[in-house]
Amino acid sequence: MFLREYSRAVNVLRGVGPVLKQRLAQIGIHSICDLLNHFPRDYQDRRSIDPLASALKKERINSLVRVVSRSWIGRGYKKVLRVLIADDSGKASLVCFGRNFLEKYLIPGKYFWVSGSFKYRYGEAQSSNFDIEIYKEEKSKRFQRILPIYPLSEGLIQGLLRRLMDKALVYVEPDLSEEIPEPLKKRYRFLSKLQALKFIHFPESWDQLKKARHTLIFEELFYYQLILEKLRLKRQSIYRHRRKPQLTLKSNLIERLPFRLTDDQKHVLSEIENDLFSHHPMARLIQGDVGSGKTLIAFLASLAVIESGEQVAFLAPTELLARQHANNAAVLFEPLGISLAFLSGNIKGVQRERLKAALNGGDIDLVIGTHALFSTDIAFKKLGLVIVDEQHRFGVRQRQALVDKGDHPDLLLLTATPIPRTLALTLFGDLELSEIRNKPEGRKPVITHLTRQGNEKKVYDRVREEVKKGRQAYFVYPLIEESTKLQLKDAESMYLSLKRSFSDLNLKLIHSRIPEEDKQMIMDAFVSGKVDILVATSVMEVGLDVANANCIVIEHAERFGLSNLHQLRGRVGRGSYQSYAFLIYSNSLTESGIQRLKVIMTTHDGFIIAQEDLNIRGPGEFLGVKQSGFLRLGHADPLRDQEILIDARKEANGLLRDDPDLCKPENRICSLVLKTGSLQRDIT
């Protein structure tokens, strides 16, 4: 049986009753498989026996000691047991806060194991953070070994989890199957699955732990790559009717543009057109900085599809953004006689019915909308191209739901959160990649200032000057409303306070909890210049395009990731005016925190910023919860484990090249694992 198939509930293990089952469920452990996949978050090396005399020299010591004497600190119900301990090298004492019951066990003359961190207090080495075990002849459970430390939650303790892991390992032992094909296992000297699980939970040496990790992480990434490559091959095996290149509409639009396409734009457009006019459906990701002109390229690509009589669906993550795209498209496309539609959850009743009928009947060439586009009741006459803006905001499943509304339509994904190419190639192994690196000419880089909290007044004065000249400004805060836990400025209170500071100007507040209709009104007022200052949270991070806005003030800038800051800064500098970004940071920010912000000050290249962000935060956070389009890997970390990832990709692709249907006996394992299904869910 594969580990993933051990789906029986944890209470098949002896000692797990309903209460414990409930507690385990709280940390996502339901089945035996979940349990064994709950890896330690850390390990404590308790193999050595340290002399007590070294207590103050090391962060933590493990010793075998005896009780010398006991005494009490304080009196009454607040009194605390103090135990004087010793070995041949010296003495120390344990202060048993909340553990006076130890009096029963720690009797003078008794020997016991102790692991603790000691500090010098009241003239002696003292510890109140320690773990003990009474010395016995047989091998200790918690000492003279490497001890796994598990992530816990309320009502669970380390010892219990360790005992459960032991039992679970025994439970799966007789029947656990290998998942890595034998030839690969031999070549890379991977452990057996059982060995690897044993060593990840209970390593006897760091070397065992390393091998266990290598095995398990390879396995995970190998299957991930195998699925991606299969997806890619499947797409390439689809043979469809070729579109005839018709580019009249495109040329018409390009002629009417008030600017020329950049070289990168031209290049990417030609890559897309190659795909559009080929026998196989396209799946291409365009990475490009904010304002690099991705949307325009997507629009131009749509024209070829529309010209050959097919429909295009353009998906955006927020209503605001979808509406903005729809407005831009209207300006560009309506003169060409193209029929456009906008769809969101707020379009209801008769209006929605009419739109549905028009889409179904093929009367609409291009529909731009939000999540509403992939609702089940929406159908197309002939969907030829799906465009997904800010693709990382969508799950693979969601975009697939839209793709499934056509007969193998082309898929074009856009992202302004670029990730480094090597990482992208592996994470998005099923996609073709295009990059737009240079920006349209004539853009003045946004001048970025770092300002310490307390000096806001200078910033506010600068903003006022710009607004007086007729420009507009954004103020961004990390929180919507006041938080008692965090000492941070929030958008709501700052809105009131800024209204007082700028009493002669028109300010408006926008954040995710404001109803969609109001948001729309506020945005319209801002776009038309009736509102001078927009106070916001990072909801406005994505895609807002108001050329007259030339100042952005970001307070508590240290609370935002570098890529976020870069995105936010991209809200200005979109027109011909010199623009400014003011990053206000907390007084208590460390030197390294300030260094981090300086990256934003000195760099305007989103690719470099992304790399830096990735280095600083690690992919876990960088790829983040929000980035639902990325896979949720279990144990692997695509950046830390990059070397394994590259091997896994090489092997997975090689294997499929050699044996596309996985029918060779040694690869049978792979097709069986893939069939167990739950893998697919890990990715989608």
Binding positions for Mg ion, rule: CB under 5 A: 295, 543
39 three-state secondary structure: coil
State which of positions 547-606 bind ligand ADP (CB under 6 A). Answer: 574
Q: Quick one: 214 or 574, whose CB is closer to ligand ADP?
A: 574
Q: Quick one: 409 or 573, whose CB is closer to ligand ADP?
A: 573
Nearby residues of 610 by Cβ (< 8 Å), 6 or more positions away: 417, 418, 419, 420, 562, 563, 622
Under the binding rule (CB under 6 A), the answer on residue 291 touching ligand ADP is yes
**To the nearest whole angstrom, how small is the minimum distance from the Cβ of residue 254 to ligand ADP?**
10
- Between CA 318 and CA 335 the distance in angstroms is 26
- Among Mg ion, ligand ADP, none, residue 288 binds (CB under 5-8 Å by kind): ligand ADP
Q: Report the residue number whose CB is nearest to Mg ion.
A: 295
Cβ pair 192, 178 in contact under 8 A? yes
Under the binding rule (CB under 6 A), the answer on residue 290 touching ligand ADP is yes
Provide the token pair at 656. Answer: 């499929």
- Among ligand ADP, Mg ion, none, residue 261 binds (CB under 5-8 Å by kind): ligand ADP
**To the nearest whole angstrom, how small is the minimum distance from the Cβ of residue 416 to Mg ion?**
6
- Among ligand ADP, Mg ion, none, residue 181 binds (CB under 5-8 Å by kind): none
- Among ligand ADP, Mg ion, none, residue 31 binds (CB under 5-8 Å by kind): none
**To the nearest whole angstrom, how small is the minimum distance from the Cβ of residue 246 to ligand ADP?**
23
> By rule CB under 6 A, what string of x and - marks binding of each residue 436-455 to ligand ADP?
----x---------------
**To the nearest whole angstrom, how small is the minimum distance from the Cβ of residue 580 to ligand ADP?**
19
- Between CA 295 and CA 434 the distance in angstroms is 14
178 three-state secondary structure: coil
- Between CA 481 and CA 303 the distance in angstroms is 44
Under the binding rule (CB under 6 A), the answer on residue 261 touching ligand ADP is yes
Q: Quick one: 260 or 657, whose CB is closer to ligand ADP?
A: 260
- Between CA 62 and CA 302 the distance in angstroms is 68
- Residue range at the interface with ligand ADP (CB under 6 A); choices 291-299, 344-352, 549-557, 595-603: 291-299
- Among Mg ion, ligand ADP, none, residue 291 binds (CB under 5-8 Å by kind): ligand ADP
- Pick the binder of ligand ADP from 116, 203, 281, 288 (CB under 6 A): 288
Q: Quick one: 509 or 565, whose CB is closer to Mg ion?
A: 565
Q: Quick one: 215 or 302, whose CB is closer to Mg ion?
A: 302
Q: Name the β-bridge partners of 449.
A: 582
Compute CA distances 138 → 13, 143, 144, whole Å: 25, 11, 12
List the end-to-end C-alpha distance of the chain, in Å, as a whole number: 24
Nearby residues of 95 by Cβ (< 8 Å), 6 or more positions away: 73, 80, 81, 82, 126, 127, 128
- Among Mg ion, ligand ADP, none, residue 292 binds (CB under 5-8 Å by kind): ligand ADP
Compute CA distances 190 → 161, 193, 222, 372, 419, whole Å: 26, 9, 13, 47, 30
- Among ligand ADP, Mg ion, none, residue 259 binds (CB under 5-8 Å by kind): ligand ADP
CA atoms within a 13 Å half-sphere pointing along the CA-CB vector of 155: 10
- Between CA 433 and CA 167 the distance in angstroms is 47
- Pick the binder of ligand ADP from 40, 293, 409, 478 (CB under 6 A): 293
List contacts with ligand ADP (CB under 6 A).
Answer: 259, 261-262, 265, 288, 290-296, 416, 440, 545, 574
